[in-house]
Amino acid sequence: MEHNLLCTPAEMVAHEPLERTACDFSNKNTVFRVETRKYSQQYAQIYNARMKGIRERLEQTAEKKWGIKPLVEIASIIEGERCCIVGNIFKDMRLKPSVLRELSEDHHLIPLPPRKKYTEQEDYLILEDHSLRLTLITDQTDTDTLVTGVPVVIVGCQENRGRFKVEELAYASILGPELSIPIPDDKYLLLVSGLNVGGANTDMLSLELLIDHLTGCGGGIQDSEIMSKVCHVIIAGNLIADKYVRIGKDRNQTVSTLESVSTADSYLSRMVTSLQVTLMPGTNEPGNITLPQQPLYEPMFPKSISYSTLNMVTNPNSMSIDGRTLLGTSGQNIDNIYKFCTTEDRMAILESTLKWGHMAPTAPETLSCYPYDHSHLEPFIIQQLPNIYFAGNQPEFKFKYYEPEGESTLLILVPDFSIVNTCVLVNLKNLECHSMSFATQLNSNGDDNNNPIPMEM
């Protein structure tokens, strides 16, 4: 007999209480914590730290790939001689937003609407290290896909007039994920982002359905059984609704943050009673905006914070659950790169950041980040692939297995729940990945005539 919502109470067979699966969670976010904040240092130090942190691996790539040792610096290039150089990319873009233009020109004009993308045909690449800048002659595809800040190694030859003809371009070698300890039984990790609790247009029904499901109050027995195996929930940003709504040219505040924070606290408190939750800040949360975003201020969540099941973490964050390594962001890195490259495929962008060995190359250029100084190792560099790598608040759910060699990494675009009412379930045993949608007829476009709670498992 099927046990689902359509069966009569009589058909419901009493069953043993389900036990919530436990897991071993550890947060490794220390690298993303900024304890004392100083602002007298400049951004140049980040780029130098980036080069310092990644140079050795770029050199390894070059020797393995082309059998050449890169030059010490760009300045030592000899015109006409084939050579190999290391540096960070700078993409020269005319359309790149400029604060100077906005401020000093007619700053009373109606501001241009933000563009979806800032790329154009005339963009070109420059390679830069501590010594020099060098204009590159590359394939269009490189110009299209690369963005400012990506550390690369290049083989090619400098032509006259100071431009460098690129033969081939490569990135830092990266270690595969650690071999993980096998997990015998199904054990789920739930990833969700963009809940937008407490907003003016928030669809409370689907939020309620989500929490009912998670706590075993919704769905049938089978659903509850599966849900009981969810050992951990990661909220990858934007638990709280954006207080601003764009109306015409102005951003108008529609709801008070205070209210939405408190609504979110209530909502969260219901989740943390029966689940381990990791909360990453996103752009909407009241907290600092530059990456890495620091854990949210606990006194803002008086109801939830008393539970030890709630973990306040940074964004980006790196953690481990039962030996599975996770690395992820609330999505700002992907959103930002998206604006400065031509590709529409966000999964490709997510994958690129792994290939580049850098989570957020456009920081600080177009993505604001803390001005790290020499004494820090740049935390956005990826030394080793995680088992799971995700980005939150994306327009749609997608996943992919990235396997350069050996162990594979599961890449996930975690969708914005407020747009698609979908969250993501990952089976930690085998890294299988599914979406789970809570579309309701109340807010769907009306084409949804089937089961009001489609569960695509």
Partner 1 sequence: MLVIRAPFGVGTHVLITVIKYTGIFACEEFKQDLNKALKSENTAKNFTLCVLDVAIEEKQSMYFYSKGKRPFFRITVASPRLVPTVRRILEEGDFKFGDYPQKQYSTYESNIEFVVRFMVDTGLVGCGWVSLKGGEYEVRRDRSSRCQIELDVKYNNLVCFAPEEEWQAIGPLRILSFDIECAARKGIFPEADKDRVIQIANVMQIQGQPDYLFKVVFTLKETASIPGAEILCYEHESEMLKDWSSLIRETDPDILTGYNIINFDIPYLMNRAAALNLISFPYLGRTHEKTTMSNTTFQSKAYGKRENKSTKMAGRVQFDVLQILFRDQKLRSYSLNSVSYLFLGQQKEDVHHSKITELQEGDKLTRRRLAIYCLRDAVLPLRLLDKLMCLINYIEMARVTGVPISYLSTRGQQIKVISQLLRKAREQELLMPARKIHGEEEYAGATVIEPRRAFYKDPVSVLDFSSLYPSIMMAHNLCYTSLLGPGDRSELQPEQYIRTPSGNYFVKADVRKGLLPVILEELLKARRKAKADLKMEQDPFKKKVLDGRQLALKMSANSVYGFTGASIGKLPCIEISGSVTAYGREMIGQVKDYVEEKFSIVNGYAHNADVIYGDTDSVMVLFHVATVKESIDLGKKAAELVTANFPHPIKLEFEKVYFPYLLINKKRYAGLYYTQPDKYDKMDCKGIETVRRDNCTLVANLINTCLKKILIERDPGDAIEYVKRTISDLMCNRVDISQLVITKELTKSDKDYSARQAHVVLAGRMKERDAGSAPSLGDRVPYVIIAGTKKQAAYEKAEDPIYVLENNIPIDVKYYLEQQLSKPLLRIFEPIMGDKAERELFHGDHTLSRTIVSSKAGGLTMFAKRSETCIGCKSVLKGNEAVCSHCIERISELYQREVEQLRNFEEKFSRLWTQCQTCQESLHEEVICTNRDCTIFYMRTKVIKDLEEKSRIIGRFEQQVDW
**Does 267 participate in binding partner 1 (rule CB under 8 A)?**
no
Residue 131 CB, nearest approach to partner 1 (Å):
6
For the chain, helix, strand, coil in percent to 5 are: 25, 25, 50
The 291-330 contact track toward partner 1, x by CB under 8 A, reads: ------xxxx-x----------------------------
Residue in this structure with the two tokens 């809570």, named with its chain if needed: 438
**Does 116 participate in binding partner 1 (rule CB under 8 A)?**
no
Q: What are the Cα distances from residue 259, in Å, to 240, 278, 295, 302, 418?
A: 10, 22, 20, 13, 18
**Does 104 participate in binding partner 1 (rule CB under 8 A)?**
yes
Closer residue to partner 1 (CB): 166 or 261: 261
**Does 430 participate in binding partner 1 (rule CB under 8 A)?**
no
**Adjacency order of strands within the sheet including 422-427:** 310-312, 277-280, 230-236, 188-192, 422-427, 432-437
**Does 340 participate in binding partner 1 (rule CB under 8 A)?**
no
**Does 375 participate in binding partner 1 (rule CB under 8 A)?**
no
**Does 242 participate in binding partner 1 (rule CB under 8 A)?**
no
Rule CB under 8 A: choose which of 371, 379, 386, 392 binds partner 1.
371
What is the 3-state secondary structure of 214-237? HCCCCCCHHHHHHHHCEEEEEEEC
**Does 103 participate in binding partner 1 (rule CB under 8 A)?**
yes
d(CA 353, CA 396): 19
Q: Are strands 317-321 and 25-27 parallel, antiparallel or unpaired?
A: antiparallel
Catalogue the E-assigned strands of 330-445.
388-394, 398-402, 409-415, 422-427, 432-437
**Does 288 participate in binding partner 1 (rule CB under 8 A)?**
yes
Query: Angle at the Cα of 301 (from 295 to 304), degrees rounded to 5?
Result: 105
Q: How far does CA 62 lie from the centroid of its chain?
A: 29
**Of 187-195, 358-366, 379-387, 411-419, which segment contacts partner 1 by CB under 8 A?**
358-366
Residue 248 CB, nearest approach to partner 1 (Å):
15
**Of 156-164, 168-176, 186-194, 411-419, which segment contacts partner 1 by CB under 8 A?**
156-164
**Does 254 participate in binding partner 1 (rule CB under 8 A)?**
no
Rule CB under 8 A: choose which of 5, 12, 22, 44 binds partner 1.
44
Residues 125-144 that bind partner 1 (CB under 8 A): 128-134
**Does 269 participate in binding partner 1 (rule CB under 8 A)?**
no
**Does 152 participate in binding partner 1 (rule CB under 8 A)?**
no
**Of 222-230, 366-374, 399-407, 416-424, which segment contacts partner 1 by CB under 8 A?**
366-374
Residue 1 CB, nearest approach to partner 1 (Å):
49
Do residues 267 and 259 make contact, with C-beta atoms less than 8 angstroms apart?
A: no
Do residues 241 and 301 make contact, with C-beta atoms less than 8 angstroms apart?
A: no
Q: Which residues contact 140 (CB under 8 A, 6 or more apart)?
A: none
Residue 264 DSSP class: H
**Of 312, 338, 321, 328, whose CA–CA distance to 385 is shortest?**
328
d(CA 393, CA 42): 30
**Of 206, 265, 207, 184, whose CA–CA distance to 21 is shortest?**
184
Q: What are the Cα distances from residue 423, in Å, to 118, 189, 237, 392?
A: 30, 11, 13, 10
**Of 45-53, 173-181, 211-219, 379-387, which segment contacts partner 1 by CB under 8 A?**
45-53
Q: Which residues contact 286 (CB under 8 A, 6 or more apart)?
A: 240, 257, 261, 296, 297, 300
**Of 116-124, 176-184, 287-295, 375-383, which segment contacts partner 1 by CB under 8 A?**
287-295
Rule CB under 8 A: choose which of 216, 287, 292, 357 binds partner 1.
287
Closer residue to partner 1 (CB): 322 or 335: 335
Q: Binding residues for partner 1, how many (CB under 8 A)?
A: 61
Residues 24-43 that bind partner 1 (CB under 8 A): 37-40, 42-43
Which chain residues interact with partner 1 by CB under 8 A?
37-40, 42-44, 47-48, 51, 74-75, 77, 79, 88, 90, 96, 98-101, 103-104, 106-108, 128-134, 148-149, 158, 160-164, 257-258, 261-262, 286-290, 297-300, 302, 364-366, 368-369, 371
